[in-house]
Amino acid sequence: MSYKLGLIFSTTGSYAALGRSALAGAMGAIDRIAQRGGVRIEPVIRDPGGDPSAYEAQTAELLDAGVRNIVGAITSWSRKDMIPILERKGGLLWYPCPYEGFECNDHVVYLGAAPNHHVVPAIDWIAAQGMTRAYLVGSNYVWGWETLRLARDRLQACGIEVVGERYVPLGSTAYHHLVDEIIATDPDCVVNSLIGPSSTGFVQALGARDPGRGARPGHLVSFNQTEADLAELGRHADNLLSAGSFFAEDAGPDLAAVARRHAPNKEVSCFLATAHAAVELFAAAVARAGTDAPHAVFDAVTDAPVETAIGLVGIDPVLRHAALTPRLALARDGKFRVIARAECAVPADPYLSRQSAPPIERRPGLRIVR
C-alpha cells in the first residue's frame, strides 16, 4: 500500500532556491523512509514557477487526482491561495516554512517558525546589543507587512527608534532609493523582510555602497534567511543575523547526506530540514492512522510527538502549529554559526498572545556633554 503525497514547490522562478531546497528535503525523506521499510510514499510533484495563480490550479489538480495531503508552498501568498481549494476539496497542507503568524486554518499543519520563534528573539537580541536605531524594509505583501509590523511594535517596546520603513513590490529590484535612505539615516541595523531577487539585490547593493557595515554583527536582520540562498548574497551577508528554527550546523549525518544527494547547492537549510520533517510527520501519522484521510492523519500526528530530522516535533491539536526550538545565527563566509539556541522546543504562539514584555532594560539615552 502506498500513499500519494503532493509536493508543490516553485523550483523555477524568483524564489526557486528555496523551493529546490525544500523539495530536496521532502524527496530525501521519502527515500529514507522507503529504505527503512516504512510507509511507501508516492510523490506527485508540481512546480508553480513562482506564479501565485498556479498554486491554486495545481492544488486543485492534485486533489482532483486523489492526492489528499500536500507538502508545499513557500510564500504566504501561495499558501493563502491554496487554502480555499484545500477547504473545498478536503485536502491537508503540511506547510514547512517560516511565516508571519495570525493564521490557524483547519486544512493546514504549520511546521515553520511562527513570529514568537523568529521576530521576538531577533528583536530582543538587537535590543540586548544596545542598538538604538533600526530601519525596516520588506516586500509589499503579507509576509513583509506583518513581520515588519510585529518588528516595529517590539522595537518600539524596547525603546529602539524606527528611522524608516519601506516596501517594494514582490520581485522588484527598485531598491536603490532605499539604499540611499539607509546610508543617509545610518541606522544600527536593517531588518530585511524582502524575499527573492529583491532581497539578494538589496543586500548586495547596500554592502557595496557601505562595505564597513559588514563588520558589525547584526547590521542586517532576517527572519527567513537560510543556507538555501545564503551563497547568493556573497560576502555582504557576513554578520547578517537570522532567526529560524533550524540551521545547517545542527544537521545530523543523515540530513547532510540528503542535502548532498538531493539539494542543488548540497547545503542543509531550514527549508530542506523542515520539508524533510514534514514528510516524516506525514509518514508517522499515516502509519498510526492506517489511512491518509486528512482528519484522521491530523488526529494521529497530534497524538504524540514524532522524532524527525529537526528533533522531536509535537503538533498543537488546537492551533495546528509545531513546537520548535528557535535559534539565532550569524552568517560568516557563506555559513551560519548559531549564537543562541532555546533550551527546548517552544510552542508556537501565532497570535503572540502569550508574549511577555521585552526583557531588555534600556539604559537612558544620555551621554556626558563637555
C-beta neighbour count of 223 within 10 angstroms:
28
Binding-site size for another protein (CB under 8 A) equals 13
Least separation in angstroms between residue 98's CB and another protein is 19
With respect to another protein, which residue has the nearer C-beta, 267 or 349? 349
Grid cell in block for residue 145:
507587512
* Residue 64 lies near another protein (rule: CB under 8 A): no
Residue 280 one-letter amino acid: E
Position among 172, 302, 316, 340 found at the interface with another protein (CB under 8 A) = 316
Least separation in angstroms between residue 104's CB and another protein is 5
What does the per-residue mask of binding to another protein show for 108-147, with x meaning CB under 8 A?
----------------------------------------
Which parts of 330-359 interact with another protein (CB under 8 A)?
351-354
Burial of 340 (0-12, 13-18, 19+ CB in 10 A): middle
φ, ψ for residue 300 (rounded to 5)? -70, -40
With respect to another protein, which residue has the nearer C-beta, 184 or 318? 318
Angle at CA of residue 175, ends 129 and 226, nearest 5°: 55
Which parts of 72-91 interact with another protein (CB under 8 A)?
none
Burial 57-67 (b: 16+ CB within 10 A, else e): ebbbebbeeeb
With respect to another protein, which residue has the nearer C-beta, 35 or 356? 356
Least separation in angstroms between residue 56's CB and another protein is 20
* Residue 102 lies near another protein (rule: CB under 8 A): yes
Chain-centroid distance of CA 342 in Å reads 17
Q: Which stretch binds another protein (CB under 8 A): 52-60, 109-117, 294-302, 314-322?
A: 314-322
Least separation in angstroms between residue 320's CB and another protein is 8
Residue 16 one-letter amino acid: A
Position among 31, 57, 84, 105 found at the interface with another protein (CB under 8 A) = 105
Q: What is the 3-state secondary structure (H, E, C) of 83-98?
A: HHHHHHHCCEEEECCC
* Residue 166 lies near another protein (rule: CB under 8 A): no
**Helical spans, DSSP H, in the chain:** 16-35, 52-64, 76-89, 119-128, 142-157, 176-185, 196-209, 230-233, 253-262, 270-289, 294-303
Binding-site ranges for another protein (CB under 8 A): 102, 104-106, 149, 316, 318-320, 351-354
